[in-house]
């Protein structure tokens, strides 16, 4: 119930929808029930009993007798056709009001669904975007996509179904029962012995659907994950001849999902014929019991009133089945909602303090004091002390797993130190607004992140007010302008999914142009040239040199030849700084740095 009430909060302000829905539903139920009750006077006219004297009813609740009385009065003043016109007019007016109000009730429910979907999906997506980077390393992308796209769609029915379970269907059921009691108390009491049997059978069908809905959502999430992995890693899949394995893995989930959905569809489709059969069987029982009394004259009902009663009773299973379906939708929505709420409840690991201040300028430098960081059973950084002066280029080198990328991730607050401090201009990052810190930073990674958009929009990403002149200037500095103007549509050329239409060097130069356009005072370069061929590397390295001019730069380099001109080279091994200095100083030390240089020279 806790999950349910949390989901219900997304319907606020629910009274905006609930009040007009209730009013429209009341009108729908009243006139919809009256439509069936009007069968009795209509049959009276058609059976040529319109001139049979009818006494005035003692109370207004005797609806069928009252209608018969007014039909009789109408026939006295005119003729039988006038009585027929009177009855038909009443029926048309009643049906018009019933259907018009039902239309408005459905519109209101649809508006509520869209309202819930909008709010819930916005909250979920916004919270996901605020997550720390470690969250995305631990979660499968397909699961996140399923929760945002598919599960959210199911959740809305748990809320809108509530209005039907709590109000519409019970009201319709009560209206039918009241009308049946008005027509015949005796027959209605007899029918109450029959209805629970049908309700029990249908509830058994719905109960199985609940557990299948949970399995369906989990399998669908796995299938989307495998699909995303297959499309993202297509080159690797083909390179390792793993197409058959990927096909088999996806097909297993696809087959499992298909079996579950087929079974659910079979049960859902069986509910209608089963309920119809049960309805007919119950009506047949009522007809046998009540019809025998009408035939032998022991009933107070006329044949016309008995037929109207049967018509009303035949509809009584419909709201009961609708309530059962709504309960099923609510349960499915709550299950899906639990998965969605996991994303909402996942709090960002890094949250600005209430009194955090914005930093708008970079004046002095970056400093790490006695920083430690690690994962369970695996320390990564151990007591790191490092100063990155303003305007200097600092390179991080060392064996894989030494902590270089982890150290760099501390500066934009992708992660936080478990002890120690990271300072910018002498101010602890914990006391600064994260967004303002990141606005001072430009990042170029080994993986060139491009979006399925134009070259212009990829360079201007995050800066929607950028002009063509600014974008072109950034592209020229990044050595990208020449190849851009040679593409089909120049700066309006689409890069394809993840920049697939461009080479690795071209993608990387666009990323550098993007960083140049933002003009940050601090650059973070994480192995920006390691995945490139020699020709592309030279173009990209020249672009990086242009990018680093007059900026503070922190570089991680795989090829040590690219960082020999750095002002400070920091050698990391096993989470410790083991050496620090210029290239010449470190070569003279005859330590780990020199060994790394000699190994690369020998390998080349």
Burial 401-428 (b: 16+ CB within 10 A, else e): ebbbbbbbbbbbbbbebeebebbbeeee
Reading the block at residue 189, the tokens are: 């009491």
What does the pLDDT read at residue 6?
74
What does the pLDDT read at residue 582?
92
Please indicate, yes or no, whether residues 310 and 364 belong to a single structural domain of this protein. no
Reading the block at residue 140, the tokens are: 């499968």
Sign of the alpha-carbon torsion through 33, 36, 37, 42? positive
Q: What's the rounded Cα separation, in Å, for the pair 147 and 336?
A: 8
Sign of the alpha-carbon torsion through 495, 496, 497, 501? negative
Give Cβ neighbours of residue 446 (< 8 Å, ≥ 6 apart). Answer: 526, 527, 528, 530, 531
Q: How far is CA 301 from CA 71, 87, 174, in A?
A: 17, 20, 22
Please indicate, yes or no, whether residues 332 and 398 belong to a single structural domain of this protein. no
Residue 382 has pLDDT above 80, yes or no: yes
pLDDT band at 175 (very low <50, low <70, confident <90, very high): confident
Listed in order, strand segments (DSSP E) in 279-402 are 365-375, 378-389, 393-397
Q: What is the DSSP string of 425-447?
A: TTEEGGGB-HHHHHTTEEEEESS
Which residue among 299, 315, 345 closes a domain? 345
Q: At 89, which CATH number?
A: 1.20.1560.10
Residue 31 has pLDDT above 50, yes or no: yes
Name the residue among 561, 604, 587, 145 with its Cα closest to residue 340: 145
Q: What's the rounded Cα separation, in Å, for the pair 139 and 38?
A: 61
Q: What is the DSSP letter of 178?
A: H
Omega of the bond prior to 331 within 30 degrees of 0, cis?
Answer: no
What does the pLDDT read at residue 584?
92
Please indicate, yes or no, whether residues 434 and 571 belong to a single structural domain of this protein. yes
For residues 60-81, average pLDDT: 57
Residue percentage of the chain with pLDDT more than 90: 14
Instruction: Quote the Cα angle for 51-183-189, to 5°.
Output: 150
For residues 9-35, average pLDDT: 82
User: Mean pLDDT lowest for which of 267-281, 430-444, 450-464, 561-575?
Assistant: 267-281
Please indicate, yes or no, whether residues 276 and 355 belong to a single structural domain of this protein. no
Which residue among 345, 371, 397 closes a domain? 345
Does residue 197 form part of some domain?
A: yes
Which range in 210-224, 517-531, 552-566 is most confidently predicted, on average pLDDT? Answer: 552-566
For residues 377-382, average pLDDT: 88
Question: pLDDT digits over 72-88, tens only?
Answer: 555 555 566 666 676 67
Reading the block at residue 265, the tokens are: 């569809």
Q: How far is CA 191 from CA 182, 315, 469, in A?
A: 14, 13, 81
Residue 504 has pLDDT above 70, yes or no: yes
Please indicate, yes or no, whether residues 316 and 406 belong to a single structural domain of this protein. no
Residue 17 has pLDDT above 90, yes or no: no
Does residue 244 form part of some domain?
A: yes
Domain of residue 381, residue span: 351-440+556-604
Question: pLDDT digits over 339-373, tens only?
Answer: 777 777 777 667 788 888 998 888 889 999 999 99
For residues 415-419, average pLDDT: 88
Selected residue with higher pLDDT from 282 and 212: 282
What does the pLDDT read at residue 529?
65
Strands 419-424 and 427-428, how do they pair?
antiparallel
**What mean pLDDT, rounded, does the chain reach?**
78
Q: How far is CA 328 from CA 51, 441, 521, 593, in A?
A: 51, 51, 57, 66
For residues 34-41, average pLDDT: 67
User: Mean pLDDT lowest for which of 43-57, 85-99, 505-519?
Assistant: 43-57
Cβ-contact 366, 423 below 8 angstroms? yes
Please indicate, yes or no, whether residues 195 and 331 belong to a single structural domain of this protein. yes
Cβ-contact 94, 6 below 8 angstroms? no
User: Mean pLDDT lowest for which of 96-100, 149-153, 208-212, 578-582?
Assistant: 208-212
Residue 50 has pLDDT above 50, yes or no: no
Q: How far is CA 1 from CA 123, 238, 538, in A?
A: 21, 48, 62
For residues 499-520, average pLDDT: 84
Please indicate, yes or no, whether residues 436 and 371 belong to a single structural domain of this protein. yes
Phi-psi category of residue 498: left, alpha or beta, with phi > 0 → left and psi -120 to 50 → alpha:
left
Does residue 228 form part of some domain?
A: yes
Does residue 364 form part of some domain?
A: yes
Q: What is the DSSP letter of 167?
A: I
Q: How far is CA 531 from CA 306, 496, 504, 559, in A?
A: 85, 20, 8, 10
Q: How many domains does one find in the chain?
A: 2
Please indicate, yes or no, whether residues 319 and 421 belong to a single structural domain of this protein. no
pLDDT band at 328 (very low <50, low <70, confident <90, very high): low
Reading the block at residue 24, the tokens are: 């429209």
Reading the block at residue 566, the tokens are: 């750095």
Residue 206 has pLDDT above 90, yes or no: no
What does the pLDDT read at residue 70?
58
What does the pLDDT read at residue 387?
94
Residue 338 has pLDDT above 90, yes or no: no
Please indicate, yes or no, whether residues 269 and 247 belong to a single structural domain of this protein. yes
Rg (CA), the chain: 37
Cβ-contact 554, 408 below 8 angstroms? yes
SS3 (DSSP) at 486: coil
Please indicate, yes or no, whether residues 246 and 341 belong to a single structural domain of this protein. yes
Does residue 516 form part of some domain?
A: no
Please indicate, yes or no, whether residues 258 and 274 belong to a single structural domain of this protein. yes
Residue 54 has pLDDT above 60, yes or no: no
Which range in 78-87, 116-125, 401-410, 526-535 is most confidently predicted, on average pLDDT? Answer: 401-410
Question: pLDDT digits over 98-154, tens only?
Answer: 889 889 988 888 888 888 888 888 888 887 777 776 677 666 776 777 777 777 777
Does residue 523 form part of some domain?
A: no
Name the residue among 451, 449, 471 with its Cα closest to residue 460: 471
For residues 466-482, average pLDDT: 89
Cβ-contact 382, 417 below 8 angstroms? no
Cβ-contact 521, 440 below 8 angstroms? yes
Does residue 198 form part of some domain?
A: yes
For residues 176-203, average pLDDT: 72
Q: At 376, which CATH number?
A: 3.40.50.300
What does the pLDDT read at residue 573?
92
Q: How far is CA 171 from CA 23, 165, 181, 251, in A?
A: 12, 9, 15, 47
Cβ-contact 536, 346 below 8 angstroms? no
Does residue 564 form part of some domain?
A: yes
Cβ-contact 546, 478 below 8 angstroms? yes
Phi-psi category of residue 356: left, alpha or beta, with phi > 0 → left and psi -120 to 50 → alpha:
beta
For residues 240-255, average pLDDT: 78
Residue 46 has pLDDT above 60, yes or no: no
Q: What's the rounded Cα separation, in Å, for the pair 252 and 237?
A: 18
Please indicate, yes or no, whether residues 357 and 296 belong to a single structural domain of this protein. no
C-alpha dihedral (557, 463, 422, 409), degrees to nearest 10? -40
pLDDT band at 528 (very low <50, low <70, confident <90, very high): low
Reading the block at residue 229, the tokens are: 């992995």
Q: How far is CA 86 from the centre of its chain?
A: 54
Which residue among 307, 325, 345 closes a domain? 345
Cβ-contact 155, 120 below 8 angstroms? yes
Name the residue among 155, 119, 118 with its Cα closest to residue 329: 155
Question: pLDDT digits over 541-566, tens only?
Answer: 777 777 777 889 899 887 777 788 88
For residues 276-294, average pLDDT: 73
């Amino acid at each position: 119930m806790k999950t349910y009430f949390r989901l219900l909060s997304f319907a606020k302000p629910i009274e905006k929808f609930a009040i007009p829905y209730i009013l429209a539903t009341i009108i729908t139920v009243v006139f919809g029930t009256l439509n069936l009750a009007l069968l009795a006077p209509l049959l009276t006219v058609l059976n040529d009993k319109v001139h049979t004297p009818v006494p005035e009813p003692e109370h207004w609740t005797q609806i069928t007798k009252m209608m018969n009385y007014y039909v009789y009065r109408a026939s006295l003043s005119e003729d039988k056709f006038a009585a027929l016109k009177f009855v038909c007019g009443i029926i048309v007016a009643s049906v018009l009001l019933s259907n018009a109000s039902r239309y408005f009730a459905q519109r209101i429910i649809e508006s509520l669904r869209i309202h819930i979907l909008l709010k819930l999906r916005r909250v979920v997506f916004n919270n996901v975007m605020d997550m720390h980077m470690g969250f995305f390393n631990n979660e499968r992308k397909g699961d996140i996509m399923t929760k945002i796209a598919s599960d959210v769609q199911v959740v809305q029915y748990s809320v809108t179904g509530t209005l039907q379970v709590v109000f519409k269907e019970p009201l319709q059921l009560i209206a039918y029962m009241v009308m049946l009691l008005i027509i015949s108390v005796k027959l209605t009491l007899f029918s109450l012995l029959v209805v629970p049997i049908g309700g029990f059978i249908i509830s058994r069908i719905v109960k199985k659907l609940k557990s299948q809905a949970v399995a369906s959502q989990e399998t669908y999430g796995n299938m989307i994950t495998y699909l995303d992995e297959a499309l993202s890693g297509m080159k690797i899949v083909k390179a390792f001849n793993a197409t058959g394995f990927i096909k088999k893995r996806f097909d297993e989930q696809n087959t499992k999902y298909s079996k579950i959905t087929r079974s659910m569809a079979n049960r859902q489709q069986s509910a209608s014929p089963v309920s119809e059969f049960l309805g007919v069987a119950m009506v047949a029982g009522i007809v046998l019991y009540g019809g025998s009394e009408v035939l032998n004259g022991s009933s107070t009902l006329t044949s016309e009133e008995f037929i109207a009663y049967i018509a009303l009773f035949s509809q009584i299973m419909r709201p009961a089945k609708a309530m059962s379906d709504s309960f099923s939708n609510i349960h499915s929505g709550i299950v899906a909602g639990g998965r969605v709420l996991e994303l909402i409840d996942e709090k960002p690991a890094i949250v600005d303090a209430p009194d955090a201040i914005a930093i708008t300028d970079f004046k002095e430098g970056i400093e790490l004091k006695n920083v430690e960081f690690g994962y369970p059973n695996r320390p990564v950084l151990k007591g790191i002390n490092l100063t990155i002066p303003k305007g200097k280029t600092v390179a991080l080198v060392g064996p894989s797993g030494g902590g270089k990328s982890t150290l760099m991730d501390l500066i934009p607050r992708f992660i936080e130190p478990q002890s120690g401090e990271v300072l910018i201009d002498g101010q602890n990052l914990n006391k600064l607004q994260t967004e303002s810190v990141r606005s001072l930073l430009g990042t170029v990674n080994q993986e060139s992140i491009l979006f399925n958009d134009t070259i212009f929009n990829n360079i201007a990403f995050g800066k929607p007010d950028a002009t063509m002149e600014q974008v072109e200037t950034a592209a020229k500095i990044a050595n990208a302008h020449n190849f851009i103007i040679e593409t089909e549509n120049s700066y309006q050329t689409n890069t394809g999914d993840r920049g697939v239409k461009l080479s690795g060097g071209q993608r990387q130069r666009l990323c550098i142009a993007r960083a140049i356009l933002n003009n940050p005072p601090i650059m973070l370069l994480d192995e920006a040239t390691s995945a490139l061929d020699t020709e592309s590397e030279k173009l990209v390295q020249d672009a990086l040199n242009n990018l680093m001019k007059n900026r503070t730069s922190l570089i991680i380099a795989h090829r040590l030849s690219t960082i020999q001109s750095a002002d400070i080279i920091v050698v990391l091994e096993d989470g410790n700084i083991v050496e620090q200095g210029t290239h010449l100083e470190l070569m003279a030390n005859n330590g780990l740095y020199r060994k790394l240089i000699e190994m690369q020279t020998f390998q080349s």
